[in-house]
Amino acid sequence: MYMDTLNIIIAGFLLLSLFLIITGIIVCVFLPEQPGGRFNWGKKGRSSLAVGLPLILIGTAIFLLALEPAYDRELRGKYLEQARYYLWADKRYIISGGKHKTDKIVVDDDLRIALNDHQMLLNDMDRIRSNYDWAKYKGEPIIFFSDDVQRLRVLARDVTCCTYSLSPLYLHRPDGTVLKLTDGVKEKKYERSAGPRSLFFKETYELGVVQK
């Protein structure tokens, strides 16, 4: 629903830009000639150009700004998340790797987090620590919006040699309180012959929070 609303807003800006561009062209071409003195460009005077050209430039600028999110779903999603971050502050939860909302999560190797049995984060393909430069998931805090936070499920697994670890996890609630979910798992090594510890962390947190 919210993505549809964002699409409507983007479409509105595109239509506005086209309206301004067309209006500017009409003004420049069809506005009756006005004497422009030494600034008279061609057949039309400075009056028509002074009105028409700014309309064309403003319309073009709006069109270019709205065109990128119109064709880029990922960018539209970012705009939507930014809007929701501030407009839905009363439903905003953040899972981070520390006491601060911006603290990154460090996991070696992969992490899954589900809210009420609905997957929020599925990092199954990296097979490397999240703080490595080439990791796809780089440990960004997980932001979600909900008025029904019954249960959080966290799974962490290791799929490559030769260590495994998970940073502490903190849940930041909309009212400003912070709940420490786990101390995490300090980095541990294992014998190469033992093979990777596929699943080394598995916890379910029953929170039972329903906001009215």
The string of pLDDT tens digits covering residues 76-123 is: 566 566 666 666 677 888 999 999 999 999 888 788 899 888 888 777
Lowest mean pLDDT across 92-106, 120-134, 135-149: 120-134
pLDDT at 68 over 80: no
Q: What is the spatial distance between Cα 95 and Cα 104, in angstroms, rounded to a whole number?
A: 9
Lowest mean pLDDT across 119-123, 142-146, 172-176: 119-123
Q: 146, 91 in Cβ contact below 8 A?
A: yes
113 burial (CB, 10 Å; 0-12 / 13-18 / 19+) is: buried
pLDDT for position 184: 92
Residue spans of the domains in the chain: they are 2-86, 92-210
The reported pTM is 0.58
pLDDT at 205 over 60: yes
The single residue listed with the structure tokens 């403003």 is: 58
3-state DSSP assignment of residue 118? strand
Name, of 6-10, 119-123, 165-169, the range with top average pLDDT: 165-169
